[in-house]
Amino acid sequence: MLFKAGGRTERRWRKIQWRFLRPDWASNFGVDLPLNLPVITPPIRKDIFFGGYEAKEAGLVQKYLSPSDVVFEVGAGIGFLSAMCAKVVGNGNVHAYEANPQLIPIIRSVHERNGVSPHVYNVLLGSGESERTFWLETDYWASSLIKGSADAQPIQIPQIDLNAELARIRPSFLIVDIEGGEYEFFKDIDLSSITKICIEVHPHVLGNDKVCEILAWLFARGFSLEVGNMRKFVFYLYRTGTGVI
């Protein structure tokens, strides 16, 4: 049965499925995502099923990703955007970093389901090599270097040097969604190879001043904000003359 993507008939069909069928997988932007795994809590499951899961980021990536890009995704979640990118630029040109070890098997299964196999790393990225405390939340998408709730559980995760990794990969497209960790991440980053950035900022964690500092750092390094495609707290930035299609 074929429906217009995002149309009224498709939305009605999804509501029927949600109520009666509860499938194991749902397609978002052409990527199959799991619904019935323990780590997929009810809010996340509903968001995936009705197509809202990371839809702001996915829309920007779909619009601005080019086949020649090398992608560096930080905060890979369950492997949605890395799978989406690998279908465009190829497996070898996507590098996905996720700190939560519970998500790595799910990322692998999502990639396998979608016929892709980009590079996946279970590490943190920061200044120098060390071991850091990472806080696991009930809803995995809220897990972060910053403790967000009384229920958060600490685990120790290895950190590798961010700028050394950027020098090794030489990416052109940077995707960042790390629940408030973006302030530390961007403070001393080497952006020399990067021409496109998709970032979700978290003012409820960082406060407005720090979010503005991040944007100021990026503007000072030659990036422009694509104002016409702002998606609430998800921004696309590009170096002048390189990123707008």
The pTM (predicted TM-score) of the whole model is 0.90
Please state, in angstroms and rounded to a whole number, the distance separating the CA atoms of residues 134 and 151: 13
- Which pLDDT value is given to residue 18? 67
- Which pLDDT value is given to residue 1? 47
- Which pLDDT value is given to residue 3? 54
- Which pLDDT value is given to residue 19? 65
List the structure tokens of 167. Answer: 């020098």
CATH class of 8-239: alpha beta
Distances (CA, A) of 25 to 43, 96, 245: 15, 22, 32
Please state, in angstroms and rounded to a whole number, the distance separating the CA atoms of residues 81 and 94: 10
Show me where the domains of the chain are located. 8-239
Q: pLDDT under 50 in the chain at which residues?
A: 1, 243-245
Question: Backbone phi, then psi, for 144, in 5-degree steps?
Answer: -165, 170
Query: In 98-195, at which residue ranges do the beta strands (DSSP E only) sit?
Result: 119-121, 124-126, 130-136, 153-161, 173-176
What are the contacts of 35-44 at 24+ separation with CB within 8 A? Answer: 37/106, 39/78, 39/102, 39/103, 39/106, 39/140, 40/78, 41/138, 41/139, 41/140, 43/139, 44/139, 44/140, 44/141
- Which pLDDT value is given to residue 181? 95
List the structure tokens of 135. Answer: 């806080």
Helix/strand/coil percentages in the chain, nearest 5: 40, 25, 40
Q: How many CB atoms lie within 10 A of CB 189?
A: 19
Question: Backbone phi, then psi, for 86, in 5-degree steps?
Answer: -60, -30
94-97 and 119-121 strand pairing: parallel
Q: What is the pLDDT of residues 220-234, one digit of tens each?
A: 999 999 998 888 899
Which of 234, 117, 217 is CA-nearest to residue 175?
234
- Which pLDDT value is given to residue 231? 81
- Which pLDDT value is given to residue 243? 47
Give the helix/strand (H/E) hosting 164. helix 162-169
